[in-house]
Structure 1
Amino acid sequence: MRTVIFGINISIDGYCDHTIGNPDEELHDYFTGMMNEVDLLFFGRVMYQLMFPYWSDMAKNKSGTADENRFAERYTSIEKVVISRTLDHAHAVENTRIIRSNPAEELVKLKQQPGRKIAIDSISLLPELITAGLIDEFRIVVHPVIVGKGRRLMDDGSLHEKLNLKLVDTIPFKSGCVAHHYLKQ
């Protein structure tokens, strides 16, 4: 059975916003390495629209730094599933399909197929997928910033019971970011 990982960048005070940090080469290389373990990305609509066409344009035009271009090429090349009731098309990004309903049921089917790891990229789907027991690993990168507003990793009351995790690795970066790698117990 395939392993499902959830990875995210957050502030020290627990807010998830792609604009809070200032990713450097070391951090891009970390996420590129994580993507090298993955052969399927599982998105919610909002996160998908934040990531594409931004990264696919960068991969196509080689418009970023060398580390950004490496990440963009790898990220764009991975097969993608987007959960959305409203998205009409996938921004001309190849290897992307849209699923209209039942994200947990779809992820169960995908976990049972042969392949490498599946990466979840959706805050809105997180409580449902945790409750269904479908996420095996958490890779949380904490940025050295306190923002005081924005989207929280989990809303109050979104889980019915706590989820205990086991810390298996911590990586400090020169930028002050710290990557925490947890496994579900």
Structure 2
Amino acid sequence: MGLLTFSLNVTLDGCIDHQEGIADDETHAYFTRLLDEAGAMLWGRVTYEMMESYWPSVARGDVEAPPALRKWALKLESKPKYVVSSTRTNYLWTNTHHLTGDLPEAVQTLKDATPAGVLLGSPKLATELDRLDLIDEYKLLIHPMITGHGPTLHQAGLPATRRLELLSANPLHNGTVATHYRRTH
């Protein structure tokens, strides 16, 4: 059985706005490594549509992009992508699949079928899956900034505090810190 790993950019004050943070070759290389290690991606519809609106065109070469972004886009293109949505069922992006049925059961089945693990990159879906005790690990890239605005991580709240064990914390040259936590049970 593979692990479900939630990975995201977050500022010191918890902001997860995708337009905030340091977007350089080093941060893109970090997420490319995570993608290499995972067997599949899991997103909610909103995050999927944001990703779908840009990355396939980078992979095709329709958009001019630095080498680190193009490398990420090409890897993302070939990676199996699963989407949780109650409103959309048709996905044109290569290797995209609609995750249907009972959410906890469907996600557990996906984890069981993906020994290399599933990388989760949607904040709202992460909150729901955290409520269901389905997230095993957290790999957060913490950016050295305070934005003073949201959205924030787990903004809708959780029923109880999550205790985590720090597995690693690696500072990058740009001031961000790549953290790796595992849930304690």
TM over 0.5: yes
TM-score class, shorter-chain normalisation, is over 0.9
Gaps of 5+ in 2: none
1:59 matched to which residue of 2? 59
Moved more, 4-13 or 56-65: 56-65
Partner of 1:162: 161
Contact 2:39–2:114 (8 Å) recurs in 1: no
| Sequence identity percentage | 31
Q: How does 1:147-158 map to 2 (within 5 A)?
A: 147-155=147-155, 158=157
List aligned pairs for 1:128-143, cutoff 5 A: 128-143=128-143
With structure 2 as the length reference, what TM-score do the two structures score? Answer: 0.92
Pair 1:145-2:161 in alignment: no
Distance 1:114 1:68, change over 3 A: closer
Superposed, 1:1-185 pairs within 5 Å as: 1-61=1-61, 63-90=64-91, 92-155=92-155, 158-185=157-184
Contact 2:5 2:138 in 1 (8 A): yes
Q: CA deviation at 1:148?
A: 1.2
Asked whether the 8 Å contact 1:85–1:101 carries over to 2, the reply is no
Equivalent AA in structure 1 for residue 128 of structure 2: E
The one-letter amino acid of 2:138's match is F
State the 1:114 CA deviation. Answer: 4.6
- Distance in structure 2 (CA, Å) of the matches to 1:111 and 1:21: 30
Please report how far the alpha carbon of residue 71 of structure 1 lies from its aligned counterpart in structure 2 after TM superposition.
0.9
Q: Distance in 2 between matches of 1:184 and 1:141?
A: 17
What are the Cα deviations for residues 63-88 of structure 1, in whole angstroms up to 9, with x where unaligned?
21111111111112110111111125
8 Å Cα contact 1:138/1:183 also seen in 2: yes
The CA RMSD over aligned residues, in Å, is 1.5
Deviation at 1:178, TM superposition (A): 1.0
Does the aligned pair in 2 maintain the 1:12–1:144 contact within 8 Å?
A: yes
How many Å separate the matches in 1 of 2:81 and 2:72? 15
* Residues 35 and 141 (structure 1), Cα distance of their counterparts in 2 relative to 1, 3 Å cut: same
Amino acid at match of 1:65: P
For 2:64 and 2:104, the matched residues in 1 are separated by 36
Cα offset, 1:138, TM superposition:
0.2
Q: CA contact under 8 A between 1:11 and 1:147: conserved in structure 2?
A: yes
Query: What amino acid does structure 2 have at the position aligned with 1:70?
Result: K
- Which residue identity does 1:179 align to in structure 2? A
- The SS at the match of 1:180 is strand
CA distance in 2, matches of 1:89, 1:114: 23
